[in-house]
A and B are shown apart, each in its own frame.
Chain A
Amino acid sequence: MQVLEQKQANAESREWAVWVKGLTREYTTRNFFGGVTRSTWALSGIDFQIAYGELFGLIGPNGAGKTTTIKILTTLLTPTGGDALILGLDVRKDLYEIRRRIGIVFGGERGLYNRVSAVDNLRYFSDLYGVDPGVARKRIPQLLEVVGLSGREKERVEKYSRGMKQRLHIAKALVHDPELIFLDEPTIGLDPAGARDIRNMVRDLKAQGKTILLTTHYMFEAEELCQRVGVISKGKIVALDTPSELKNMVRDISVIDLRTYGATMDYVEALRALPNVVRVVADLESEQQSIRIQTPLGADLLPKVVAALPEGAKIIDRTIKEPTLEDAYLRLVEE
């Protein structure tokens, strides 16, 4: 009976492009004699599945466990416990077969040889991934055209802008035609036009039937692109659903978006102290500040918001909105 159940579980796990069950990861720091001096659980038993052809988002604050999850699923890190299957293959045993069938886009500046050209980078990685040289000769120029680097492909990568490097990252991840693509914060640090280009490429990949796991800090990006989103916090999946269902969790609130001049931290604290204010998120770095207030009162809170303004400060613009995925996310990760 137990064997039968095990077989059924195995069959079920292979129906998913990504199947994760009870995954844990502990990081330990050891002293000179090998004794553990500090132990941190980066993942405390996460479960999720991604269907073939699905675009799945994994969102969470820094240190929540996103990168650890990606590293385990891409076979770069051994899990401490639990199981993970990628395209039906075990991340502990089937390293090379998994690596051949997945593509990884690392965020930031990592992962490219800057002193050689884009073509050299792609040729190198296509050879490492075992792509037939005849196919690579056709595929590389076409890929460069798809990602908009044609005409600049022979320049050293160090001369590229941040956006061009990120497009090359995507080409590199696709050079061996993977079935499953991991995009680890692909738009981080890009200007709006560059980020839009990358999002369009992600849509194209999805349309092509690729399975995609996307991690991002930008909630609107996850909302715009992903079919389902997992919210990870302190090493646990705290919510997993479609963006619209996640937004339903905060249906009880409205959002007041303010653009202010001269607002200070004292003003933000005063807003937080107002009755019926659920949460206030502020960006005070720029000359014009943006403040986001979550409240069940909606427009009825505005008189108090205006009254709390310090002398010399003013509200330049105000908008009352329906809650977004970001509001749901903030509630989930702060709970």
Chain B
Amino acid sequence: MVSMHDLPPGKRVSGYFAQKAQVLKASIFLTRKLFFADPQWVIPNIIAPFVFTMVAFFLFQGQTSGSSFLLYLVLGSGLMGMWGTTIYASANSIGFDRWNGTMEATLAAPVPLSWIALGRVLFNTLQGVLNAVFILVIGLAWFRVGFSLVNPAAFFLASVATFLSLSSFGLLMTTVLLLSRKGGFITNSMEIPVYIATGTMFPIILLPIVYLPFAFMLAPTWGIEAIRIAALPGYVGLPTTYWEDMVIMAAETFAYLGLAFFLFKRVEAYAKRIGTLEEY
């Protein structure tokens, strides 16, 4: 029988990066466990992508069969799924703790809340990637879309960068939900307009000019452009090159990250000042 006296001392990990990596790992693992513990995960991750793909393909079926335009649609549908999952999950990444009753315990941990949230958002965005991959598989297998990429390495790089940019945007959205109990409304209401603004289903150049500044502020806009340039032969989109798209996306990603970390500091200070952040 073990007693309190037999417990080994709680030796700690040392080093800034090792500590942060440990928090990220813990946050990602817990989010994964919680995600699969809820059977509802099937709806946004299997059913919704399937519906997205079906709608897109049946709309254009017959007109463009076999052409690279179908790949254009597959990539767009994938990004729609990825975006939808990211925005939905990031809104719930820390807000979940509020209604689960674990907000106080999370806020009491000796690590900045932003690192806990980052781990959760990373897992949620990864979920979005799986969502996108699922759409690709449906498109390729069911609708027999050819998948010959112009530059596979550039495609892979742009996909990873888009994944990171979506995560950073998700992190930013998490602060919105934390600051306001109506944050869920704000983040959910962003889901559909972004489908239009980022040009997932059509070139954004077709949008009225007044919407373009909003579209340009969204990193996924540049991500989709870069992915399509790398994937589609003779793709004509915005008058930017692959690398220009990548640089703009990276700059916006860093801006989102900087703003998110700044806002998290403010949120934590605000939480300590009002003392009611844990209330649902």
Question: What's the least CB distance linking B7 to chain A, in Å?
Answer: 5
A95 and B278 alpha carbons, distance in the complex (Å) = 18
Residues of B within 8 A of A142 (CB): 2, 6-8
Query: Of B20-28, B157-165, B235-243, which stretch is located at the interface?
Result: B20-28
Question: What's the least CB distance linking A127 to chain B, in Å?
Answer: 3
Cβ 8 A contact of B8, one of A127, A135, A205: A135
Given contacts A123-B29, A177-B7, A207-B4, 18 further A-B contacts (CB under 8 A): A74-B108, A99-B110, A110-B101, A111-B101, A111-B104, A112-B102, A113-B34, A116-B30, A128-B26, A128-B110, A129-B12, A130-B19, A131-B13, A139-B10, A145-B1, A176-B10, A177-B9, A205-B4
Cβ 8 A contact of A113, one of B2, B5, B30: B30
Enumerate A180-223 residues with CB–CB distance to B below 8 Å.
Answer: 201, 204-205, 207-208
A110 and B7 alpha carbons, distance in the complex (Å) = 26
Question: What's the least CB distance linking A208 to chain B, in Å?
Answer: 5
Question: What's the least CB distance linking A314 to chain B, in Å?
Answer: 45
What 0/1 readout, one digit per residue, does chain B (26-39) give for beta carbons within 8 Å of chain A?
10011001100110
Query: Of A2-10, A33-41, A75-83, A250-258, which stretch is located at the interface?
Result: A75-83
Question: What's the least CB distance linking B79 to chain A, in Å?
Answer: 30
A selection of 7 A-B contacts at a CB cut-off of 8 Å is: A78-B273, A110-B102, A128-B26, A129-B10, A130-B111, A142-B7, A177-B7
Given the known interface contacts A120-B33, A130-B19, the answer about A114 and B109 at a Cβ–Cβ threshold of 8 Å is no
Question: What's the least CB distance linking B74 to chain A, in Å?
Answer: 34
Given the known interface contacts A76-B272, A205-B4, the answer about A129 and B30 at a Cβ–Cβ threshold of 8 Å is no
A208 and B101 alpha carbons, distance in the complex (Å) = 30
Given the known interface contacts A76-B272, A99-B109, A124-B30, the answer about A135 and B101 at a Cβ–Cβ threshold of 8 Å is no
**B interface with A by C-beta (< 8 Å):** 1-13, 19, 22-23, 25-26, 29-30, 33-34, 37-38, 100-102, 104-105, 107-111, 116, 271-273, 275, 278
Residues of B within 8 A of A112 (CB): 101-102, 105
Given the known interface contacts A76-B275, A113-B30, A115-B37, the answer about A99 and B3 at a Cβ–Cβ threshold of 8 Å is no
Question: What's the least CB distance linking A107 to chain B, in Å?
Answer: 11
A111 and B102 alpha carbons, distance in the complex (Å) = 4
Cβ 8 A contact of A139, one of B1, B7, B30, B109: B7
Contact A109 B275 (CB under 8 A): no
Cβ 8 A contact of B105, one of A110, A201, A208: A110
Give the nearest-CB partner of B22 in chain A: A127
A52 at the interface (CB under 8 A from B): no
Give the nearest-CB partner of A78 in chain B: B272
Residues of B within 8 A of A131 (CB): 10-13
A100 at the interface (CB under 8 A from B): yes
Contact A111 B105 (CB under 8 A): yes
Contact A76 B4 (CB under 8 A): no
Residues of A within 8 A of B38 (CB): 115
Contact A100 B12 (CB under 8 A): yes
Residues of B within 8 A of A205 (CB): 4
Question: What's the least CB distance linking B274 to chain A, in Å?
Answer: 8
What 0/1 readout, one digit per residue, does chain A (129-141) give for beta carbons within 8 Å of chain B?
1111101001100
Contact B26 A123 (CB under 8 A): yes
A contact residues, total (Cβ < 8 Å):
53
Contact A106 B104 (CB under 8 A): yes
Contact B12 A132 (CB under 8 A): yes
A179 and B102 alpha carbons, distance in the complex (Å) = 23
Contact B22 A77 (CB under 8 A): no
A16 at the interface (CB under 8 A from B): no
Question: What's the least CB distance linking A312 to chain B, in Å?
Answer: 46
A207 and B3 alpha carbons, distance in the complex (Å) = 11
A96 at the interface (CB under 8 A from B): yes
A112 and B97 alpha carbons, distance in the complex (Å) = 10
A86 at the interface (CB under 8 A from B): no
Contact A135 B10 (CB under 8 A): yes
Give the nearest-CB partner of A77 in chain B: B275
Residues of A within 8 A of B110 (CB): 95-97, 99-100, 128-130
Question: What's the least CB distance linking A217 to chain B, in Å?
Answer: 19
Contact B100 A113 (CB under 8 A): yes
A174 and B3 alpha carbons, distance in the complex (Å) = 13
A201 and B116 alpha carbons, distance in the complex (Å) = 31
Q: Closest 5 A-B residue pairs measured CB to CB?
A: A177-B10, A127-B26, A99-B110, A115-B37, A110-B101
A64 at the interface (CB under 8 A from B): no
Question: What's the least CB distance linking A263 to chain B, in Å?
Answer: 39
A205 and B26 alpha carbons, distance in the complex (Å) = 27
Give the nearest-CB partner of B103 in chain A: A110
Residues of A within 8 A of B26 (CB): 123-124, 127-128
A112 and B101 alpha carbons, distance in the complex (Å) = 7
Residues of A within 8 A of B101 (CB): 109-112
Given the known interface contacts A104-B108, A106-B104, A130-B19, the answer about A116 and B33 at a Cβ–Cβ threshold of 8 Å is yes
Residues of A within 8 A of B116 (CB): 128
Residues of A within 8 A of B271 (CB): 76
Residues of B within 8 A of A156 (CB): 37
Contact B111 A96 (CB under 8 A): yes
Residues of A within 8 A of B3 (CB): 146, 204
What 0/1 readout, one digit per residue, does chain A (85-123) give for beta carbons within 8 Å of chain B?
000000000011101100010100111111110001001
Contact B12 A127 (CB under 8 A): no
Question: What's the least CB distance linking A317 to chain B, in Å?
Answer: 39
Give the nearest-CB partner of B34 in chain A: A115
